[in-house]
Amino acid sequence: MDTFGRRLRRLRERAGLSQSQLARLVPISQSSLSRYESDRQTVTPDLAARLDDLLHAGGTLRARLPRPDAAGDAVDTGVLDAAVLAAFEHTSDLAGLVADHTARFRRLDDVVGGRALYPSVRRCFDAASHACRNDTTALPGLSELGQVAGWVASDAGRTADATRLYLTAAEAGETAGRLDLVASALSSLAYQLANSSALTDRAEAVLLASAVADRADGAGRALLLERLAWAHARIGDTTAALRVLDEVDEVFDEVRDPAPSWAYWLDRDEITVMRGRCMVELHRPSVAIELLSEPLSRYDPTRARERGLYTTYLAQALVAAGDVTEARRLLAEVPRTESARLEARLDALA
């Protein structure tokens, strides 16, 4: 079978290019190109089109990409997993079971990349959704599970799936009368849009994040504002980004109650990291280096994806400040995870 990887390798060799030469032309890392050629990593349509152009392949590479969401998993074909469904349908405490699964997947997401985690969280969400048709008391939990599933889908590189999951989570929250859950789901979608390479998506992210930024209190509001600040930074609006970041600090300093479950991970270090990332986007590398270095020095090493992601922003700031050697050293130490989000950042910096 003439797979994408095999054809890519044959076209590259026919062009007389080494892996490192083609990787520099794209540009991506040589290790990523190696994974593409061995069919160990799926190429995005935009990257396939770029390779088509560089190798004069006439669109044949993009034509060999698998159809979106055609991974062959039951979760992707709409077929409910019978065993998972039975567990939800035969419990006497559906709300409690959904909450337990949500908490479990949150813990797993801290240490497992999206590609590895997505099939199981999606099976669970689909089964829970089916069971919740007859038990509305579980809808708040379903909304939170949908947000976790959306986050994992996005980390797996399945942005279309993530969008649907976020919108479903928002709908469940609205039906349950929980505006904070609606806001959390839609701000997660805004964060995904802000990370897009398309300027129209980033502009939409600002509008969406702005619309929900005041629909929670305490730590929850600080998180919603963080995502709004990030959206402003991604479109280059320095004034708005700095204003909202200052508001995040003010809100978080006044927090006295525990964070809502959907904002459980937010702490002062995460807020500092977000400010640092915004400074990278706003071309203030020296400020970014100062902000990112200290939190990263004590960041939990078991959370490899987040640590790796944040390290890429520190490396980007170092490059902008002229310290390419240190940036390369940091990137060389970033472990590979099953995270499309992290791989995209590493490729961008290659």
Q: Could you give the number of structural domains in the chain?
A: 2
| Model pLDDT, residue 79 | 52
As a whole number of angstroms, the distance between CA 39 and CA 35 comes to: 6
As a whole number of angstroms, the distance between CA 196 and CA 231 comes to: 10
117 inside domain: yes
By residue count, the chain amounts to: 350
Distance in angstroms between the alpha carbons of the first and the last residue of the chain: 31
112 inside domain: yes
- Cβ(315)–Cβ(289) under 8 Å? no
Q: How many CB atoms lie within 10 A of CB 203?
A: 15
158 inside domain: yes
Torsion angle (degrees, nearest 10) of CA 259, 264, 269, 273:
-110
| Model pLDDT, residue 70 | 38
**Domain closes at, from 177, 193, 220:** 177
Please report how many Cα atoms fall inside a 13 Å half-sphere around the Cα of residue 343, on the Cβ side. Answer: 23
Q: Residue 43's domain is classified under what CATH number?
A: 1.10.260.40
130 inside domain: yes
Domain containing 166 equals: 72-177
* pLDDT in 10s for each residue of the chain, 350 residues: 568 888 899 999 999 999 888 888 887 767 678 878 887 666 777 778 888 888 988 888 877 775 544 333 434 434 566 778 888 888 999 999 999 999 999 999 988 999 999 999 999 999 999 999 888 899 999 999 999 999 999 999 999 999 999 999 999 999 999 999 999 999 999 999 999 989 999 999 999 999 999 999 999 999 999 999 999 999 999 999 999 999 999 999 999 999 999 999 899 999 999 999 999 999 999 999 999 999 999 988 888 999 999 999 999 999 999 999 999 999 999 988 889 999 989 888 87
| Model pLDDT, residue 123 | 92
| Start-end of H helices in the chain | 4-14, 19-25, 30-37, 45-54, 60-63, 74-77, 82-89, 94-111, 114-131, 139-155, 159-175, 179-194, 199-212, 218-234, 238-253, 268-281, 285-297, 304-320, 324-332, 340-349
194 inside domain: no
As a whole number of angstroms, the distance between CA 207 and CA 205 comes to: 5
**Co-location of 95 and 168 in the same domain:** yes
As a whole number of angstroms, the distance between CA 163 and CA 186 comes to: 9
**Co-location of 58 and 83 in the same domain:** no
147 inside domain: yes
**Co-location of 51 and 87 in the same domain:** no
| Model pLDDT, residue 75 | 40
**Co-location of 87 and 53 in the same domain:** no
Place of tokens 């999206």: 114
Q: Measured between alpha carbons, how far is residue 85 from residues 88, 125, 252, 292, 299 in Å?
A: 5, 10, 40, 44, 38
**Domain closes at, from 126, 158, 177:** 177
166 phi/psi in degrees, rounded to 5: -60, -45
144 inside domain: yes
**Co-location of 93 and 133 in the same domain:** yes
**Co-location of 19 and 82 in the same domain:** no
126 inside domain: yes
**Co-location of 45 and 116 in the same domain:** no
**Domain closes at, from 177, 202, 231:** 177
Given CA atoms 256, 261, 267, 270 in this order, what sign does their dihedral have? Answer: negative
**Co-location of 33 and 87 in the same domain:** no
| Model pLDDT, residue 73 | 41
**Co-location of 92 and 156 in the same domain:** yes
